[in-house]
Amino acid sequence: MTLRNLRIAVRFFCQVVRKGVEEPRGNGCMKTYTGVRFGDIESCEVRPARVGEADELARFDVRCFAGQAWPVEEWSEAVADAAFQTWVVRRCGELLACWVLLLGRPVSYLASLAVGPAWRGRGLGGAIMAAVLAQTRRARSVWLELDVDVENRPARALYARFGFAPLVRFREDDRARLTMVRRFHRPAPGLL
């Protein structure tokens, strides 16, 4: 699904059920994580992505997702449109990781999460997931959803560790995919 279609789908769903959420960009998270250990990596800078970073994010995405990477147009949208929480993790200028979160109520959607190949297995993915869950809780989402390739064992292990459960399998672009869900609260009566 393209980013635009994803946003339309999530917005539509959130409007039907309840209001979508637009967390101000550059909130307290940046202060919380800048200059502290993020995973086992010291002194990471963790902050919202800037418009000028779209090209670099698109190139990074190719290194992480190969043929399934988003084109630069999608990254331009992800960094420019306030509907998306697009965050980067950098150290000494190097881009280590990024994520894209679409916050809403009742559902938020983790549209992308990637750690650079050289930086995997050092706790960055886990630290990002903790930050994502904090962002989603703050937005008072009832659940957080994401889609993952069935074959992507490292990602599925990470999501399972953070309380995601499989919801439904489907096929996309000839790949077996899985929607996973992390629930936060019991929906209020009459909400769903």
Task: Tell me if 93 sits within 8 A of 20, measured CB to CB.
Answer: no
- What tokens appear for 176 in the block? 């077996």
Which residue number, 15 or 65, has a Cβ lying nearer to ligand COA?
65
- Asked if 126 touches ligand COA (CB under 6 A), the answer is yes
* Distant-in-sequence, close-in-space partners of 86: CB < 8 Å, separation ≥ 6: 48, 49, 57, 78, 79, 98, 99, 100, 101
Which of the ranges 13-21, 47-55, 83-91, 108-116 carries the binding residues for ligand COA, by CB under 6 A?
A: 108-116
Instruction: Rule CB under 6 A: choose which of 64, 72, 83, 181 binds ligand COA.
Output: 64
Which of the ranges 44-52, 79-87, 113-121, 171-179 carries the binding residues for ligand COA, by CB under 6 A?
A: 113-121
Instruction: Rule CB under 6 A: choose which of 91, 122, 138, 140 binds ligand COA.
Output: 122
Distance CA 67, CA 84 (A): 23
Instruction: Rule CB under 6 A: choose which of 4, 137, 161, 175 binds ligand COA.
Output: 161
- DSSP code at position 53: G
- Asked if 48 touches ligand COA (CB under 6 A), the answer is no
Instruction: Rule CB under 6 A: choose which of 63, 153, 169, 185 binds ligand COA.
Output: 153
Nearest CA-CA partner of 115 in 87, 74, 83, 138: 87
Residues constituting the chain: 192
Residue numbers at the binding site for ligand COA (CB under 6 A): 64-65, 113-115, 120-126, 148, 152-155, 157-158, 161
